[in-house]
Chains A and B, each alone.
Chain A
Amino acid sequence: MNLRALFFVQLFVFSALAWGQTPSPSPSDVEKVEVTPSLLEVEVGQDVQFTAVAKDKSGRALPDKPSKWFSSPFEIAGSDENGRFHFVRAGTVRVGAIIGGKPGTARVLVRQEAVARIDVDLTSQNLYVGDTYLPMAIPRTWEGNPLHEVGIQWISSVPQVAYVDSVGVVHAIAPGTSQLKAVSKGVSSQEITLNVQPALASTFGIEPSVAEIRTGDVIHFKIAGEQTKLQVRWTISGNTATMTADGAFVAEKPGTYIVAALAGGHIASTAVHVKARGIRRQLELVGRAFVPDVQFAEQWIFGKYAYLSTISDRLFVYDISNPSLPKLTETLKVDARIINDVSITPDGSIGVITREGASDRKNGIIFLDTTDLAHPKILSQYTATVTGGVHSAYIYGKHVFITDDATGSMRVIDFQDVKAPKEVARWQVQSPLNESQIGRTRYLHDLQVVNGIAYLAYWRDGLVILDVGNGIKGGSPENPKFVSQFRLNYGELYGGDWVAGSHAVFRYKNYVFIGDEVLSTMSDIFSKERVPARGAVHVIDVSDLEHPKKVAEYQVPEAGSHNVWVEDDLLYMGYYGGGARILDVSGELLGDLYKQGREVASYWTGSAEGFRPNLPFTWGAQPYGGLIYFNDINSGLWIMKLGHSKD
């Protein structure tokens, strides 16, 4: 080869390689893969044969055959090697084939009625001629989520005895028996037997007779005397109040209300005067602790010390023996980007912090020696099975119950030997849709253990109750047993533009308080912009642990609930943009607690020098030693005390 030829050869090779063009693969003739039928609606259970044809740039069909058939998401449909698909779940799915390295797809809508079952809570109902009765039913998805926006039709088997009008009210018109059922989208509820008896000959009265109550107080009215088994339709007239089907009354506004009972063709009424609750008190600032340009997270107050974790790698320890002048005694730095949780054993000897974002990606939890509370030292860590990150931890005896970010499961860590902690149990909600279904989640966010019962705030899966040593289901820390679950429909509650779920949990008396965390999908916890938040606290009655039911809620308008602590009939919480809040949770709880005037105090924890200036972002609260400690992401620790009445 002469020099000229050598030069051009080299020039060619150099040119090819100089711009990083690795030897290109053989050019494929496949420009497009067409899968037919290209758009289809099918029903769950149906089989459909698809075909795929590869075409070149000119639109000419090529002889190449599919090297692979696929569906996405996987769990809605499956295929054989020849493109015959079987559809097993409702939803939208793309089915397709790869030819010559090029995929092509068709879109399939798989239909299934959204209502999987309809729950009714009665099997029979006694009525008298002339009675009206509003039956209640809840349609649910196959997962058990309530569908409040789905229409229900009620059908009476013998309308000559009891007929149902166009809005679902049952009218008892003649003695006899009729079967009542709710129907929606082809799904029927269990039947309710209506026993209609002749109209009552005598009238009746209402008890108790109440002179005066406060807003938020719950009164249970009932029919007096011998007629107590009557099916009663309760009505109220007055300013703003709630009356449940079983006669529970609670008012939101002061005023006089007339409560009427309709039953057996008769009516009785009574009046109740409601006065303002009058419990508002001042929250007085005692002291503050703050570090500039830091976002704070959880706190734990113990003895004369306050532990403050951060959305960073530091844990601050303050001496609060003089609460008006907290003094920083220690800054403990660990390998983490978020120390989301911190707590200390009741004897003060061991602390636990959770880690997320560690540089070695071994997050887990760290055990601290807190015998010298002013200067905690790292004792050990547990990362082996929870490297993906731990959000929350709850110490219960010699076990710490933790949330595993990676798998959305609860892990129980035995730290009897704190130098060698070990995992002894794990538990997670089971749902076939959790396996990669787009939009589905399994995310355990918070937990608390009280009297051997674990309460889990399980994000979209709501509240989960486990026996971890109580005995009700034979559970133990090493072998948690499912007790019950209470689900909320977060899509209905907050709509699609918010990331929402059960976030915080706290058991007190017969109630479990669940705080929702609801953040805008566009927000960023690391930016200095305001983080929009919403969310309510749901009050769940767990007097029957196996049948939890929602009875009340607490929602500060246009603010986002976060962590909750309840003690001595007062609920303390950080309400994100709503600042520090204290709520009266004495007595029975029913209805909208905010509107009932049950708020005792609130405080705006914004600060000019805060991470986000003049914006409260209150994380949580802890009452301790007669004071209340509120921790704010933006502005640090606020030490407060309840002052005099504002009413």
Chain B
Amino acid sequence: MKSKVYSLLLFLSCLLWLGGAPAGASDTPFPLKTYWVYVLSESADEISLVRLDREGARVERRFKTGNMPSDLSGPHGIVVSPDKRYYYVSLGHGRPYGTALKYSSENDRILGQTTLGLFPATASLTPNGELLFVVNFNLHGDMVPSSVSVVATEDMLEIARIPTCVMPHGSRVNPQGTFHYSACMMDDLLVELDTRALKVSRHFLLTKGLEKGMAGSPSGENPMVHGAAACSPTWAQPSVDGTSIFVACNRSSEIVEIDANTWTLKRRIPARPGVYNLSVTNKGRMVATNKRDQSISIYDLTTGKELSRIPTSKKIVHGVTVSPDDLYAFVSVEGIGSESGLVEVVDLTRLEIIAEVSVGPQAAGIDFMKMTPP
């Protein structure tokens, strides 16, 4: 009898494991739990807190950010601290340098700020929340090597600005907190930083046919001609265990997987046009935004196969964050000109969009805030 009970429990848990938890009542696509994500609107200097619950999705709070009263500050990257007490926003524009802001998630008040480099963009934190890494994207024309800024978050001090390569983007720290990864769009490079020594430890040439892992800083040895990047990487995403790094090749529309231990190429996965940002689930899936394809793709990381392509209602698909329970992906869509931005909510079980929320124009950086029960 006991073995039958355990068999039943095992069967039920497998259902949960493979199919995900039920989204909610059978007559609604919306969850019983409540989820919150922060999203930035780069052309409206706005931060929106989007809420998903059993009633659907909506903007719970929407407020201004920025530090230039008459000009666009261009908030681009956002990351929530592991303890959920703070979140950090990068402002791309400045006079001329951009800024990182530290917010209290309790009341959305600014607690500190620091000046960074030219157009600071994607941001990420070490698991202890002590160090913030922001890539200085510097998309302002000159094809010159830029840097990754490191900020001590307690007092918002920029403690290092580490030179890397041209137009770094896609800042992500591995789960162990030991290495930071970013990709340089115009150099076809993946760059690894040692988060303790605050220096470049390795880099990897991503160009198809020329793949090569190298030690140290990329300066001066890259065979790529600036601006002629074939891959044009826009995102570097460590796997959940940190053993692989997935890189989105925006130009060649591929996802490249690098073995983080051997620093060698594992595989190139064909992707949709303009694959841009990536996020991984705990269950071996990857969600990718396809900037030029007006769609979202979901991949099985074991096989590398696309499980679903989900079209979005507006153009310029940007960022993605996945809920910690792997049930939902929240995707930002920029829109064009005076169009509003969007947050699309994807049910990762049904593989379909279940809600769409209008936010300020050019919705860009997005990160998961919290869910109930915690």
Contacts and interface: CB of A to CB of B under 8 A. Distances in A.
| Binding between chains A and B | yes
Interface string A505-549: 000000000000101111111110001000000000000000000
A523 B69 contact: yes
A407 B96 CA distance: 5
B142 A24 contact: no
Nearest to A362: B139
Interface in A3-46: 3-4, 6-7, 10-11, 14, 17-26, 28
Contact of A388 (B43, B139, B196, B198): B139
Given A18-B325, A436-B97, A499 B152 contact: no
Nearest to B127: A25
Interface in B304-339: 316, 322-326, 334-338
Contacts of B324: 18-21
Tier of interface size on chain B: 35 or more
Contacts of B198: 67-68, 70, 98
A442 B95 contact: yes
B115 A436 contact: yes
A405 interface: yes
A341 interface: no
A103 B130 contact: yes
B355 interface: no
A408 interface: yes
B337 A333 contact: yes
A242 interface: no
A356 B118 contact: no
Contact of A520 (B69, B97, B139, B337): B69
A19 B71 CA distance: 40
Nearest to B323: A20
A312 B338 contact: yes
A406 B155 contact: no
Nearest to B240: A22
A28 B69 contact: no
A7 B160 contact: no
A72 B97 contact: no
Interface in B43-61: 43-45
Given A101-B128, A459-B95, A405 B71 contact: yes
B93 A25 contact: no
A334 B93 contact: no
A10 B338 contact: no
Contacts of A103: 130-131, 152, 154, 157, 159
Contact of B196 (A17, A98, A336, A438): A98
Nearest to A404: B140
B140 A3 contact: no
A388 to B, nearest CB: 4
Contacts of B325: 18-20
Interface stretch (A169-177, A379-387, A588-596): A379-387
B96 A405 contact: yes
Contact of B141 (A68, A386, A524): A386
B117 interface: yes
A385 B6 contact: no
A55 interface: no
A406 B118 CA distance: 7
A391 to B, nearest CB: 7
A386 B140 contact: yes
A68 B157 contact: no
Contacts of B361: 337, 357
Interface stretch (B173-181, B255-263, B343-351): B173-181
A70 B140 contact: no
Contacts of B160: 68, 70
A596 B178 CA distance: 68
B302 interface: no
Contact of B157 (A18, A94, A388, A519): A94
B215 interface: no
Interface residues of A, number: 79
Given A10-B13, A22-B282, A407 B118 contact: yes
A459 B70 CA distance: 13
A443 interface: yes
The SS class assigned to the A binding surface is loop
Contacts of A404: 140
Contacts of A6: 10
A94 B13 contact: no
B155 A94 contact: yes
Nearest to B65: A524
A17 B322 CA distance: 13
B95 A443 contact: yes
Interface in B170-201: 175-178, 195-198
A105 interface: yes
Contact of A68 (B44, B196, B322, B337): B196
A384 B159 CA distance: 32
B294 to A, nearest CB: 13
Question: Which of A334, A336, A438, A519 is packed against the most chain B CB atoms within 10 Å?
Answer: A438
B71 to A, nearest CB: 7
Nearest to A72: B157
A101 B336 contact: no
A459 B323 CA distance: 45
B69 A519 contact: yes
Question: Which of B118, B159, B322 is packed against the most chain A CB atoms within 10 Å?
Answer: B159
Nearest to A4: B6
B72 A3 contact: no
Contacts of B21: 18
B117 A389 contact: no
B272 interface: no
A606 to B, nearest CB: 19
Given A96-B152, A357-B362, A24 B127 contact: yes
B29 to A, nearest CB: 20
Interface of A: 3-4, 6-7, 10-11, 14, 17-26, 28, 67-68, 70-74, 94, 96, 98, 100-103, 105, 312-314, 333-338, 356-357, 359-361, 383-389, 391, 404-408, 436-438, 441-443, 459, 499, 517, 519-527, 531
17 contacts: A6-B10, A7-B10, A17-B283, A20-B323, A94-B155, A98-B196, A101-B126, A313-B337, A337-B362, A356-B71, A357-B42, A385-B142, A391-B71, A406-B118, A441-B94, A443-B96, A525-B71
Interface of B: 2-3, 6-7, 9-10, 13-14, 16-17, 21, 42-45, 64, 66-72, 74, 93-97, 114-119, 126-128, 130-131, 138-142, 152, 154-155, 157-161, 175-178, 195-198, 240-242, 282-283, 316, 322-326, 334-338, 361-362, 368, 374
